Amino acid sequence: MIEATLCFPLRDGADTGDERAGSRDGGTSPTEVLLIEKRRGLGEGWYNGPGGKLEDGETPRECAIRETREEVGLEIQPADLEKAGELTFLLDGEGHTFCHVYRTATFEGEPRPSPEARPEWVPIDDVPYDRMWDDDRLWLPGVLEGRTVAGEFRFEGGEPLDEAAFVDHDLEWDVEVVRER
């Protein structure tokens, strides 16, 4: 099974000029999430968080940090990434991708586009779910509220995954997310 990551940088929309965004610990609730419009590969043309597949020898946390740096140019310290979920995507009954989901309200830099991604801050109340994977509307709102989730999402119709039909799912909320290396 492919192992992959997603990372959701968060900020208080009032902090737009600040390099270091407001943190949950600082008492402000984030109002915006950094999404990317994917420019190539799986999910091309759709919005998602920065992220991608693990490279050899890499931990999920290292992967989320590298992918966020490569795709949108933000720097994140490992301790500032909060594990928010674990999602399993099945295709035709077989495990296809296991995805580690992170969020962070602490990072450095300003988002910039890359060949893979066009970044865009969007209000948490106005996430474009109609332009995302069908499953995202089921788990991302809770993740953006600060909850943890474990989910299994079943697709049918053969490769590639982004052309298969989303058929059903199981979700568990407020779980301990433990699969860390």
Ligand X SMILES: Nc1ncnc2c1[nH]c(=O)n2[C@H]1C[C@H](O)[C@@H](COP(=O)(O)OP(=O)(O)OP(=O)(O)O)O1
Under the rule (CB under 6 A), what is the footprint of ligand X?
4-6, 41-43, 48, 51-53, 89, 97, 99, 133, 135-136, 153, 161
Closer to ligand X by CB, 17 or 93: give it.
Answer: 93
- How many Cβ atoms sit within 10 Å of the Cβ of residue 13? 14
Burial 106-127 (b: 16+ CB within 10 A, else e): bbeeebeebebbbbbeeebeeb
Cα dihedral across residues 124, 96, 51, 179: positive or negative: positive
Q: For residues 161 and 155, is the Cβ–Cβ distance under 8 A?
A: yes
- The nearest distance, CB 78 to ligand X, in angstroms, is 18
Q: What is the smallest separation between the CB atom of 26 and ligand X, expressed in angstroms? A: 28
Nearer to ligand X, 107 or 133 (CB): 133
- Burial (CB count within 10 angstroms: exposed 0-12, middle 13-18, buried 19+), residue 88: middle
Quote the least distance from Cβ 17 to ligand X, whole Å: 29
Which residue of the chain is nearest ligand X when measured via CB?
52
Q: Report the nearest approach of ligand X to the CB of residue 51 (Å).
A: 3
- Quickly list H helices, 40-132: 60-72
For ligand X, which is the closer residue by CB, 22 or 84? 84
| Nearer residue to ligand X within complex by CB, 30 or 51 | 51
